[in-house]
Amino acid sequence: MKKKYLLKRGHEDACCESHHWHHGCGSNGAVYGLGFIGAAIYYVSTAAGFWMGVLGVLKAIVWPAFLVYAMLKSLGL
């Protein structure tokens, strides 16, 4: 019933309308998860010791921040 109401109001995507912003309907979680795994593998494989590996895992958690920083730096902003 709720889905029909949402579609009648002109919303094309009832899925996104019925969930909160943090659930989403896209694959952002999958992209972040794959990015986390890739970043963790990279940082841990280049670590010189145990604590550098731990730091690598922490860096892998915030990899999007590094990506945005590098992008803005390359744009000269």
Separation in Å, CA 13 to CA 19, 20, 23: 11, 13, 14
Taking CA atoms, 26 is separated from 5, 21, 38, 64, in Å, by: 22, 11, 20, 17
53's CB contacts (< 8 A; 6+ apart) are 43, 44, 47
Domain boundaries, the chain: 2-75
What pLDDT, on the 0 to 100 scale, is given for residue 31? 83
For 8, phi then psi, to 5°, come to -65, -30
The answer to whether residues 31 and 11 touch, using CB atoms and an 8 Å cutoff, is no
pLDDT of the residue at 54:
95
Residue-by-residue pLDDT tens, the chain, 77 positions: 555 555 555 555 555 555 555 555 667 788 888 889 999 999 999 999 999 999 999 999 998 888 889 999 999 87
pTM for the full predicted model: 0.56
